[in-house]
Amino acid sequence: MKNKLVKRILSVGLMAAMAVTLVAGCGGKGNSDGSGGGTGDAEVVGDDEFAGKSAEFTWWITQTDSNGEYYENYEDNPAVQYINQQYWNVKDGGIGTAENGRKLTFSYLVPITGSEGENFNTMIGTGEYPEIIDMAYSSESPQAMYENGILMDITEYVEKYMPNYVAFLDANPELKPLVQVADEDGKPHYYAIYSFMDGVQNPWEGMCYRRDWIVKYAEPTEYVWDWDSDYVKENGHPAVTPLAKALDEDNLEGWKENEVSSFKADYGTNPETDYTDNVIFPSGTTDPITISDWEWMFEAFEKAIEERGWGDDSSAYGMSLPYYGFGQMGDITSSFGGGTGSYYVKDGEVSYDGGSENFKTYLDCMQVWYENGWLDPNFNTRASDMFFSIDATGVNQGKVGMWCGLVSTLGTAIRVSCQDASDQEDAFVMGCALPINDMYGTKDQMYKEPDALYQGSRKGTPTGITKKAEGKDLAALFTYFDWTYTDLGARTIRIGLNEEQYESVELNPDLYAANDIKAAYTESTDEDGNLVIVTAFSDSDTIAGALQGHRMDTGINLSGHADGYRFDKGNTKVYENAMEQWTKFLNTGNVLDYTSLLNTEEAEQYGKINTAGIDYQAQNVPNVIKGTMSWDEYVKGLDNIDTDTAVEMLQKYVDLASMGK
């Protein structure tokens, strides 16, 4: 699907000559007959109050794609050219015709990369801002900017011209309090338009492990879960787990004999796509899903480390861990019945989870892993390492079995830096989902899906409509905005033009013709009848961003993990597998989105309380894991932290979310 890129390189001399902080784009190129952007004046169609008003709007956007390789001004983006050539049916919504619609013309102000924050502040401070602004660099909320006389209250326009936007919020009520502001009478107001992910977005990090070490050193278990058995079908797991306990109790209901007696792998010509093996985990699956699967892997990692002569090397170990002993967003912590080890929301109730039985069970497991030598013995000393890059040296040298890592470590990437000669030949990294606990604690902590993890917010950056837009054709503008919350609008903005759209417009420059394609994507159905969206370019192809209109950040952002469709972007098999594993569970438990709603006074108070809690845990949780501090001693110290006040503040905003349901 990939084509040879034909790049239009922006003149370096021109860039040097443009010694300004802001680059202003040009208007549309064509005529008012539908082949271009026209004059920007609204066609006099319809009898609403905005008919005949100016429809020229300037949009402050940020530089987030490599458009300089393909066109000089954002108006030349093919998605923008298409939008500027459409007629917007303000009566019925969506794209209309010359007879029932009105034109819009978008032009753009684009700050030079690196100057965005300074430029945004200068623009707002001087009052020299356009009608539409991307608020990614705003230090104030949309409500505050409205109160300061910069933004419009757009409530009436959203309610009248944006039925698709409102319908999306109605279908996702948990998002409403994140984008609405209630007045003293309880009436919701809109001060900005937000983009939303339609599902879990592809992460850039996740749990990674040495699949090649599993093939070489893991011993297939005598029995594995029988997913075809009535018991497992009904309960999701055998009657007794793990296997050692099931054998001890002589209860193998839900287990079956393992047909695989040894593991082998075939790397193929291109391992990232061709790699296959016959690995089956104790859970009876090809990917690890349980805590007992993980412990089975750790035993294999031990053998690999010993064989390489690293048994006494403290930099060689089974799994890395954040220096404070747990992930503050949840992650593996939430595998033990749910929770974050910090502030946590479940079923509409906020709590402080740092002293819960679930968190205790997590620490009990970590204590076992530490005593068995499976954890990084120096984890608490790595305070300067980010959670996605803990002990990068050890990982890249091939001395770590499992870690939280970047997409860039998948497949064969670490071979070149591995210290062991055999690892240089066949090291292979795969991604895995967070585990389900089947070993520790009581039934309250077992067989529960993780519910709190580091996962991108579904709420995107707000787009503000400033007072400069007053007196212009707001009906056409908000009709366009609403179109971006339809399937076709979302695909146009987030992928590019389909073949029918491309055939209906004249593009200049024409990146489609230059790259010998007729569409940015096509649609097909798989063997199960599900929609498959096949893109012309993978995410790694820079032209993919140049075909999209995503810098106009409104509408639905397509994750590929929502119901009803999936993407085929030509990505490697190991990448797609990691995405499937890393998006297996949905984050519902951490409170990050709610903390962004706190007012200035609340945010300051919450920040002080939260910092005190983090500092205390960073000092003491590692001691609990290492066995030098008891659980009771640790919990007693939490009494000195005013977590109740922080919980009350967060609960107020969670309650607002519940009111929207």
Give per-residue pLDDT as tens, 473-531: 999 999 999 999 999 999 999 999 999 999 999 999 999 999 999 999 999 998 888 89
**Tokens coding 527:** 């063997």
pLDDT score at 600:
79
Binned at pLDDT 50, 70 and 90, residue 656 comes out as confident
467-501: burial string, b at 16+ Cβ within 10 Å, e else? ebbeebbbbbbbbbbbbbbbeebbbbbbbbbbeeb
Does residue 377 have a cis peptide bond before it, meaning omega lies within 30 degrees of 0?
Answer: no
Whether 153 contacts 481, CB under 8 Å: no
Using CA atoms, how far residue 34 sits from 44, 88, 190, 484, in Å, is 15, 12, 33, 20
Residue 32 pLDDT > 90, yes or no?
no
pLDDT at 570: 84
Q: How far apart are CA 539 and CA 541, in angstroms?
A: 5
Nearest one of 583, 577, 593 to 559, comparing CA atoms: 583
Asked if residue 445 has pLDDT above 70, the reply is yes
Q: Is 86 helix (H, G, I), strand (E, B) or coil?
A: coil
pLDDT at 25: 41
Neighbours of 533 (CB within 10 A): 18
- CA 432 → CA 9, 415, 421, 501, 640, distances in Å? 40, 19, 26, 39, 38
Give pLDDT tens digits for 171-191. Answer: 998 888 889 888 878 788 999
Task: Give the Cα separation of 105 and 41 in Å (integer).
Answer: 8
pLDDT digit string (tens) for 386-427?
A: 888 999 999 999 999 999 999 999 999 999 999 999 999 999
Measured CA to CA, the distance from residue 92 to residue 96 in angstroms comes to 8
Q: pLDDT grade, residue 533 (50/70/90)?
A: very high
Phi, psi of 460, rounded to the nearest 5 degrees: -90, -170
- Checking if the pLDDT of 23 tops 80, the result is no
Q: Whats the size of the chain, residue-wise?
A: 661
Q: What's the pLDDT band for 15 if we cut at 50, 70, 90? A: very low
DSSP string, 278-318: ----TTSSSS--BHHHHHHHHHHHHHHHHHTT-TT-TT-EE
Assess if CATH 3.40.190.10 describes domain 12-199+459-531: yes
Note whether 323 and 379 are within 8 A (CB). yes
Say whether the peptide bond before residue 238 is cis (omega within 30 degrees of 0).
Answer: no
CA distances from 172 to 185, 358, 661 (A): 23, 29, 8
Q: How is the chain split into domains, by residue range?
A: 12-199+459-531, 204-215+290-454+573-638
- Location of structure tokens 């001087």: 126
- Residues above pLDDT 70, as percent of the chain: 92
Pairwise CA distance, residues 503 & 483, whole Å: 20
Pairwise CA distance, residues 579 & 457, whole Å: 16
For residues 448 and 444, give the distance between their C-alpha atoms in angstroms, rounded to a whole number: 8
Distance CA 94, CA 492 (A): 13
CATH architecture of structural domain 204-215+290-454+573-638: 3-Layer(aba) Sandwich (3.40)
pLDDT greater than 90 at residue 31 = no
Q: Is the dihedral of CA 275, 281, 286, 289 positive or negative?
A: negative
d(CA 106, CA 201): 28
Tokens of 461: 């950056």
Distance (Å, whole) CA 593 – CA 613: 19
Residue 19 has pLDDT above 80, yes or no: no
pTM: 0.81
Integer Cα distance of 403 and 322 in angstroms:
10
Look at residue 133 and tell me whether its pLDDT is greater than 80: yes
The identity of residue 23, as a single letter, is V
